[in-house]
Structure 1
Amino acid sequence: MARIKHDGNLHVFQPHHRSLLNRLKIMMYSTRWLVVTTFLFIYSVIGTPLRRAPPVVTLDSATVTGTQFGRVNRYLGIPFAQPPVGYLRFRRPEPIAPYTESFSALTYGKACPQQDVQLSLPGILGLADGIVDFLTNTAWGVALPDGEDCLTINVVTPSSITPTSKLPVIVWIYGGGFQIGSSSLYDGGSVVEKSISMGEPVIFVSMNYRLSAFGFLASQEVKDAGVANLGLHDQREALRWVQKYIHSFGGDPAKVTIWGESAGAVSVSMHMVANDGDTEGLYRAAVMQSGTPVPVGDVTKAQIHYNNLVENTGCSDESDTLACLRALDYEILKGAVDQTPSITGYNTLVLPWLPRTDGTFIKEDGQRLVQQGKIANVPYIVGDCDDEGTLFALVLNNLTTTSDVRGYLKDVWIADATDAELDQILALYPGDITKGSPFDTNIFNALTPQYKRVAAILGDAAFQAPRRLFLDHTANTQNTWSFLSKRLKASPFLGSFHASDLLNSFGGGDLTEYIIHFTNNLDPNDPNRRITDWPKYTTDTRQLMTFQDLPIRRRIITQDNYRQEAIAFLTTVMLAHPI
């Protein structure tokens, strides 16, 4: 049963909401039926044009059948590793055996286990408890069925492709705080269609990877067993699959770009510092939207969360707790994982399960590795939204005084911070609502007296400061471009919120064009100069491509010099006190 925090009070879903849920479910299923029947009607009218031979590829000795719609072929839900179940739970992914039996790749595979959302919203934005529960957990589960057997990959290509086309490949890694998300939420067909229209066709690949404790379990026991950062290893195995099989789809394994947003972007950056920057020939370029290495400690820093998981599953009396967790019934383990802190809860971005230093694959704090130059020397694009912190500050509506904010920083974010460090952070991020986030909105959007202040601190600490450090130590040694998205600035309370730039990259916008140029040419600029030139980022120029929609939708070049003193100080403090 989902437990939802609303207006600061804990509520449990009550029976009198069931009629509402039933009506919502009926509406959802009715809508789904309407879509299906409408499609069948169109199919019957169009007839012959849709009854073309489906596309096929050969993988090893198997024939894989996909689907074609317009100018795009899709091959969905292809297993790329052994199912991580039973003995393979909490172990590194094992390569898939050669394909010997033909199969149809027509639908996405199951999402990896999703952590339940624990949502707390202020009254002005809050919904009835039953609706919140339905939208965050019930509807999500219906729309996104999940399970442990989830390591599948999807390939989307132009329908005109041949095995000798050798097209560039872009590999997408989804976000979701390392707790939720699935490749099925991102239709690569729009990207491929856009690339065809531009005359620069690409192949789009996406994969599922293990999330939450299933993919990022961390503790001394995990470190001793060498099974930390399993979600990253899943992604790495998918990249090896691309090297082995993408030629069958008409792709060039030597022209792979890895691309992610939020947790997916952090993942991309972690691959850049993994193995001290050794790409293993798996990719040649990278794109990161709202994510670079964040300051984290050793996997043992999550020991308390591991211990709680062991306690809540009844494994605490076992001599080998990791073996006990592997042998648990899935529902028991999943229920205990759901009790760990959620990205939509009070801890927000201080996540229990995320990539951490393991001493082998990620040998040190990712930011320290960047500072040491132990990073893949490949061209990359990196950028943030202007108001990264607003979405996460929404759940902290109980912080209404300076004392509350100080206590939150001390208790949750920077437990080891000195009084002087906390005083300086609060001085650099004042309570003046005209200075907070959403930025440049004057007195508006002050949901609570401290909301805009908290949003500014969270956004800079988790996104802007890490991006700037990343650029400071790489921009003069490799080709880099950076952006700032100020689109959707008029969104009430949220401004240009975290993930709002996805509309510009998956919605066929101008960022999509830049990424397609980059995937083809290792340069986001259009060779034919049809869109605004995007200058490289250097520590001397610090030029940002800035996407705006006020007063008109446009692109301008600005300087990456906002909140310099505040962001620099946050960087120093976070490096000294990693999460």
Structure 2
Amino acid sequence: MPCPFLAGLKMGHRTGSSPPIGSLRFEAPEDPINNRSAGVQDGSYGKICPQAYTPWQNSHLITAPPGEAESEDCLFLDVVVSKATWDNRCAGKNVPVMVWIHGGGYQIGAKWGTPMTNPIGLLDRSFEDAEGALWIGLNYRLGAFGFLQGDKFSTSGGQTNAGFFDQRKAFDWVQKYIEIFGGDPDRVTAIGESAGGGSILHHITAYGGAKDPIPIQRAIIQSPAFVQRPYKSQGDDSYNILLDAADVSNLTELKELSTYDLQVANKLSQNADIYGNFQFGPGPDGDYVPDLPGTLVAQGRFNKNIPILTAHNTYEANRYTDPAATNDTAFFTYIKLYFPEINQFQLLELAVLYPAIYTGLMPYTTPFERLRLAISEFTFTCNAQFTATALGPALLRKSYSYLFSAGTGFHTVDVPYTYYTSDTSAVASTSLAEMLQGYLTSFAQDGDPNKASLPSFPVYGLASTQRNLNITDTGNIRDPSATARCAFWQTFK
């Protein structure tokens, strides 16, 4: 390709879509308007999509005014490229691309901007025994701005699960422009943690695998998170809660609200959240999300051409479990809150799968730990398990998975290791951080986490073998989520 010349361009905060405001609010994103007179956004400041915390996270933030950086005009992405990659971009030496989808429960978060997700250390690791890599982080609409469903909303003309379309638009941008920066559009790895990992799983199952596959060549899915919304009523209920919080009656009036008023309504809607859950999130819409990902995977309705590396932590749901869950009744109280239309037969099956036995026979010894295990499994770990199986041994192909058991093993404790730079205070073991980064960047290179300088990483296979990443013992184990419990949750409806 001709060598591109980008006079005065600094990396970072390059827009991928037109602002989703006014008539474009609650719509699929559109290509940005080519307005050179507006100048180039040079990365000296950055906008994030409107945020909304829940009462169980921070009740004070429910009524806090929107932050200065929060804006509906937030569909930007960052491109982080090394000088070596930039200098070689015209020599036909394009490098693999890692596209990061951030987590945050589909309510909070942003593409970059905190030390926790500084990609410099990850990119440094990509040059060890390899050609390097290029990193991209993207914003997508959150909360009510990006994750509404239900007949009432969709028949009014709203775009269900709009946040996923924002992400897709960013991946389309990568295909069109990443060669300019020295990236290889034929070696794109989607990497995401928590809601980011859950997003990638939804893209893999998009349209039931029938059309328009996401333009990626491999995926790293860490702690893939989403709470199943199996009932049509759930989408309508969340939409009605938003209408009430905004004091309007329909989508037209929502679009006419000021951005301040809509952001406040988004925040106030979280008052209806139960402990550990969020008001808005992905759900089936009969289109991009034709069904729950677990159901689609079980039916073979997904994109089967993506090599996969999955991961989960030991005790994912610790912070999402009510500390007051100290008796046996709490388990089914919360199960019914999460799944209000669950039937008696399903409850009986759960009583068998999660018996109130605290002697050490089960992976829990208290009522709190019993509920924590269930929430961990239906929100995080089972998603990783069935994905590693479906895109690996079920297709007679290699897939990979690891358990992050270092430290507390709680949700997100692995992220500072993924994005370790040189700040030793951020991790308990620099060698573990560098090992993890080596596995991730090696997988982004060629779809295999193994490389000569690292301990062998096993194929997941029919034995459900994971690499156990721990400060004191890094060996191979059987995936603790490969159980009848996860088989139940995969097809739960």
TM-score (normalizing by structure 1)? 0.74
Q: Say whether residues 1:163 and 2:78 are aligned partners.
A: no
Q: Which amino acid aligns with 2:269?
A: T
- In the alignment, structure 1 segments of 5+ residues that lack a partner are 1-56, 67-74, 121-131, 444-448, 489-494
The alpha-carbon distance between structure 1 residues 245 and 428, as it changes in their structure 2 partners (threshold 3 A), is: same
Q: Which amino acid aligns with 2:456?
A: D
The alpha-carbon distance between structure 1 residues 158 and 95, as it changes in their structure 2 partners (threshold 3 A), is: same
Answer whether contact 1:170 1:203 (CA < 8 A) is retained.
yes
Q: Which amino acid aligns with 1:86?
A: G
Partner of 1:404: 330
Equivalent of 1:525, from 450, 457, 469?
450
* Mapped partners of 2:399, 2:48: distance in 1: 33
Partner of 1:191: 122
* Mapped partners of 1:104, 1:427: distance in 2: 57
* Mapped partners of 1:216, 1:64: distance in 2: 37
Equivalent of 2:418, from 505, 517, 528?
505
Equivalent residue pairs, number: 466
The alpha-carbon distance between structure 1 residues 312 and 525, as it changes in their structure 2 partners (threshold 3 A), is: same
Once the two structures are superposed, the pairs formed by residues 252-401 of structure 1 within 5 Å of their partners are 252-277=184-209, 278=211, 280=213, 282-291=215-224, 295-297=228-230, 301-316=234-249, 321-341=250-270, 346-349=274-277, 351-376=278-303, 377-393=305-321, 396-401=322-327
Task: Point out the more displaced range, 450-459 or 174-183.
Answer: 450-459
Q: Which amino acid aligns with 1:172?
A: W
Give, in angstroms, the shift of residue 457 of structure 1.
1.4
Partner of 1:94: 30
* Mapped partners of 1:207, 1:138: distance in 2: 27
Partner of 1:24: none
Encode CA deviations 1:328-353: one digit per residue, 9 max, x unaligned: 1122212221122379x52423x332
Equivalent of 1:236, from 161, 168, 171?
168
Aligned partner of residue 384 in structure 1, secondary structure = strand
Q: Which amino acid aligns with 2:307?
A: P
The alpha-carbon distance between structure 1 residues 337 and 133, as it changes in their structure 2 partners (threshold 3 A), is: closer
Q: Say whether residues 1:565 and 2:484 are aligned partners.
A: yes
Q: Say whether residues 1:546 and 2:465 are aligned partners.
A: no
Give, in angstroms, the shift of residue 167 of structure 1.
0.9
Give, in angstroms, the shift of residue 137 of structure 1.
7.3
Task: Point out the more displaced range, 301-310 or 82-91.
Answer: 301-310
* Mapped partners of 2:126, 2:237: distance in 1: 47
Partner of 1:119: 56
Answer whether contact 1:291 1:467 (CA < 8 A) is retained.
yes
Partner of 2:430: none
Answer whether contact 1:294 1:367 (CA < 8 A) is retained.
no
Answer whether contact 1:296 1:366 (CA < 8 A) is retained.
no
The alpha-carbon distance between structure 1 residues 175 and 562, as it changes in their structure 2 partners (threshold 3 A), is: closer
Partner of 1:463: 380
Q: Which amino acid aligns with 1:175?
A: G
Indicate the structure whose relative CO is greater, using CA pairs within 8 Å and at least 6 residues apart. 2
The alpha-carbon distance between structure 1 residues 545 and 140, as it changes in their structure 2 partners (threshold 3 A), is: farther
Aligned partner of residue 76 in structure 1, secondary structure = coil
Aligned partner of residue 270 in structure 2, secondary structure = coil
Give, in angstroms, the shift of residue 231 of structure 1.
0.4
Aligned partner of residue 97 in structure 2, secondary structure = strand
Partner of 2:43: 106
Give, in angstroms, the shift of residue 465 of structure 1.
2.2
Give, in angstroms, the shift of residue 407 of structure 1.
1.8
* Mapped partners of 2:225, 2:248: distance in 1: 35
Answer whether contact 1:216 1:354 (CA < 8 A) is retained.
yes
Aligned partner of residue 30 in structure 2, secondary structure = coil
The alpha-carbon distance between structure 1 residues 221 and 140, as it changes in their structure 2 partners (threshold 3 A), is: closer
Aligned partner of residue 14 in structure 2, secondary structure = strand
Q: Say whether residues 1:65 and 2:9 are aligned partners.
A: yes
* Mapped partners of 1:338, 1:173: distance in 2: 22
Answer whether contact 1:271 1:279 (CA < 8 A) is retained.
no
* Mapped partners of 1:496, 1:334: distance in 2: 34
Aligned partner of residue 382 in structure 1, secondary structure = strand
Equivalent of 1:453, from 361, 370, 373?
370
Answer whether contact 1:436 1:456 (CA < 8 A) is retained.
no
* Mapped partners of 1:372, 1:569: distance in 2: 15
The alpha-carbon distance between structure 1 residues 292 and 459, as it changes in their structure 2 partners (threshold 3 A), is: closer
Give, in angstroms, the shift of residue 308 of structure 1.
2.1
* Mapped partners of 2:475, 2:35: distance in 1: 49
Partner of 2:141: 210
Encode CA deviations 1:390-423: one digit per residue, 9 max, x unaligned: 1211xx123222123222212x123233345334
Q: Which amino acid aligns with 1:542?
A: S
Answer whether contact 2:13 2:42 (CA < 8 A) is retained.
yes
* Mapped partners of 2:416, 2:18: distance in 1: 34
Encode CA deviations 1:440-472: one digit per residue, 9 max, x unaligned: 8xx7xxxxx532222111111212223223334
* Mapped partners of 1:163, 1:299: distance in 2: 49
* Mapped partners of 2:439, 2:412: distance in 1: 18
Q: Say whether residues 1:145 and 2:69 are aligned partners.
A: yes
Give, in angstroms, the shift of residue 382 of structure 1.
0.6
Aligned partner of residue 463 in structure 1, secondary structure = helix
* Mapped partners of 2:47, 2:361: distance in 1: 40
* Mapped partners of 2:166, 2:352: distance in 1: 43
The alpha-carbon distance between structure 1 residues 99 and 313, as it changes in their structure 2 partners (threshold 3 A), is: closer
TM-score (normalizing by structure 2)? 0.87
Give, in angstroms, the shift of residue 375 of structure 1.
1.6
Give, in angstroms, the shift of residue 368 of structure 1.
2.0
Answer whether contact 1:228 1:299 (CA < 8 A) is retained.
no
Partner of 2:460: 537
Q: Which amino acid aligns with 1:155?
A: V
Equivalent of 1:223, from 154, 170, 174?
154
